[in-house]
Structure 1
């Protein structure tokens, strides 16, 4: 397949994109705040500047998940919640995005149940295991009624609605090159020396800016296309962002999709900027131009999504 970047590492990230929220330490109450502060002091930040991706930490999370699978009989979800997090430092402020692996596993199980054929679902996660996981989740929900994931995951595509919180100026493209940052987890085990650093593409913006953009988009879309798919997506993203501290950071990470898209398409990708242009046209009353931009953006990402069926 053309335009596919190959990374020599013991673990290849899956073809998934991630929408993350990093909250400042002030957002966490004690003793959780002290725990994350100690965690950051011990492990250090995954990104010490805005232009640095957290790709090495993503690989570490993937390795940990695979180790869980091979070390014991596979389970529908982890026995206990992860105590790991992605950590960013920006302008001297420490921001934390907990992995919340157990909570995300429950959500993934729900998605699997909704979208997979019954025979496949019963093979992957037998009914008894699903029932036990669901009962466990109900007990957990009763104890944590306000819990929400800091990370949303999308397989094989970036949903167009995820670009709403961002502008072109938030885009950060890190070309592939020689380096150790994306193979840090492998090097801890004595692997990865001299491996090529994969490209990375992500957007990072303050929460206040993200909320303003989503709110403006929602108002424009609701007036022009009140029953449209994107207006529903704007409402969904806006409600999720409202769950977090107002001084958080919001990040859209192409994750493993960089290996699917390839360097030329990554370099040329301006999805957030294109969506901004379409929304500007919509607010100016140029519905034809707005529909053209949205149609091209949607078709392009549907072509990426269609690759999941490729042999």
Structure 2
């Protein structure tokens, strides 16, 4: 993928979303800077969505058209000009449809031509779905998510073997490919909140026949700056741990994209696990920023209090996960 060098002279002004509105969060101990243990982040893609359909959150990157080489750039330019664009719910439904046949289609045969579209400071940016690539990445996570007998029932070994072989051949031809979308279920990782400020929070309550929306959006330059500062604070104040490792991973991922891209955290289906009052009162990015600032100033009590608010806020989500 081609990229144009350069760095914005000032933080870009966020524009309106072009895509139709579509779009939970529980705090896990391994996301806390003082945690002493970790569990691998659960990744929910097309192959596991049949179990956890509504409760997925997303971290997305939207790149300007200049970041793409031809003929893909022209494709996205035409695509962004459409009068009607698919939503995240459309993407999820299409992924689930592949699980209906017998045997199920673990990974789509063809890559998706769709994307989410947004504007950043008047510039059109796109976030390609890349459903096929994300399906392959999800397959790599499955063995750690399900017992062998359950996994074989959901996706027979012959189906997984064929998908793995297809992925290997594809990866040889596309060694630098990476997804524009990261996904997790039943929570929003604390490390994702590090990228955003409270004033970038967008909350729209459920209207007449509509769904609630809770998301954050920020220019790439701001996301990278906040991440670097938080990482420096953690390394200076606490032992290396899961949150530090997670921030390093997110930072490497963000470096793959155009410097004038847009970064979005979308609560996605988690808005259905929280009441309207809980959503309206949620200030998780502010709590994370306050906790890191407290660590920077040496106030571990205040850092612990900020983390405690996150834990308390998402007890209901944890309980709902256990109930399911």
Q: TM-score, normalised by structure 2?
A: 0.80
Assess, with a 3 A threshold, how the Cα gap between structure 1 residues 229 and 68 changes in structure 2: closer, same or farther: closer
Q: CA deviation at 1:62?
A: 2.1
CA distance in 2, matches of 1:246, 1:238: 13
Indicate the SS of the match to 2:54: coil
Alignment of 1:106-255 (within 5 A): 106-178=136-208, 196-255=209-268
CA distance in 1, matches of 2:212, 2:175: 39
Indicate the SS of the match to 1:142: helix
Q: Which runs of 4+ in 1 moved over 6 A?
A: none
Alignment of 1:266-285 (within 5 A): 266-285=279-298
CA distance in 2, matches of 1:300, 1:109: 32
Q: CA deviation at 1:203?
A: 0.2
Q: TM-score, normalised by structure 1?
A: 0.83
* Unmatched 5+ stretches in structure 1: 1-11, 47-55, 179-195
* CA shift digits 1:17-45 (9 cap, x unpaired): 0000000001101111011111112355x
Is 2:273 the counterpart of 1:260?
Answer: yes
Assess, with a 3 A threshold, how the Cα gap between structure 1 residues 226 and 255 changes in structure 2: closer, same or farther: same
CA distance in 1, matches of 2:194, 2:88: 23
Q: CA deviation at 1:243?
A: 1.0
The alignment's C-alpha RMSD in Å is 1.9
Q: How many pairs does the alignment contain?
A: 273
* CA shift digits 1:93-125 (9 cap, x unpaired): 110000010111112212222221111111111
Is 2:79 the counterpart of 1:39?
Answer: yes
CA distance in 1, matches of 2:102, 2:83: 27
- In the other structure, the counterpart of 1:105 is 135
Is 2:64 the counterpart of 1:24?
Answer: yes
Kept in 1, the 8 Å contact 2:98–2:106? The answer is: no
Kept in 2, the 8 Å contact 1:225–1:231? The answer is: no
CA distance in 2, matches of 1:103, 1:119: 25
Kept in 2, the 8 Å contact 1:23–1:97? The answer is: yes
